[in-house]
Amino acid sequence: MKRITTTPRPDWQDRVTEYGLTFHTIDGETYWDESCYYRFTTEEVDVLDDATAELHKMCLETVEDIISRQAYDRFLIPPDFIPYIEKSWREQQESLYGRFDFCYDGTRPPKMLEYNADTPTALLEASVIQWFWLQDIEPTADQFNSIHERLLERLKEIQTSTWPLGNPIFYFASYSESEEDYITVNYLRDLAIQSGFTTEYLTIEDIGWDDGQRAFVDLDRREIKLIFKLYPWEWLMREEFAPYLLLETTRFIEPPWKSLLSNKALLPLLWERYPDHPNLLRAEWEPFGNTYVKKPILSREGANVTVVTGGQTLLESDGAYADWPCIYQEWSPLPNFDGNFAVIGSWVVGDTACGIGIREDNTLITRDTSRFVPHFFT
Model confidence pLDDT, tens digit, residues 185-233? 999 999 999 999 999 999 999 999 999 999 999 999 999 999 999 999 9
> What is 2-263+335-377's CATH number?
3.40.50.1760
d(CA 142, CA 203): 37
pLDDT tens digits for 139-162?
Answer: 999 999 999 999 999 999 999 887
**pLDDT for position 166:** 79
Contact by Cβ (8 Å): 62, 155: no
**pLDDT for position 323:** 86
Query: Which helix (H) or strand (E) segment is 174 a member of?
Result: strand 170-174
pLDDT tens digits for 82-91?
Answer: 999 999 999 9
Q: Half-sphere exposure of residue 228, counting CA atoms within 13 Å on the CB side?
A: 27
**pLDDT for position 165:** 76
Domain spans of the chain, in order of start? 2-263+335-377, 282-329
Q: Which residues pair with 145 in a beta bridge?
A: 355
Share of the chain above pLDDT 70, in %: 100
Instruction: Look at residues 205, 189, 206, 187 and name the one whose alpha carbon lies nearest to residue 197.
Output: 189
Which letter does DSSP use for residue 89 in this model?
H
Query: The dihedral of CA 152, 153, 157, 163: what is its sign?
Result: positive
**pLDDT for position 7:** 97
Residues 6+ apart with CB under 8 A from 319: 299, 301, 302, 303, 304
As a whole number, the mean pLDDT across the chain is 95
Q: Regarding predicted confidence, which is higher, 74 or 364?
A: 74
pLDDT value at 301 more than 90: no
**pLDDT for position 245:** 97
Residues 6+ apart with CB under 8 A from 347: 52, 97, 98, 99, 120, 123, 126, 127, 147, 353, 354, 355, 356, 357
Per this entry, what is the length of the chain?
A: 378
pLDDT category at 163 given cuts 50, 70, 90 is: low
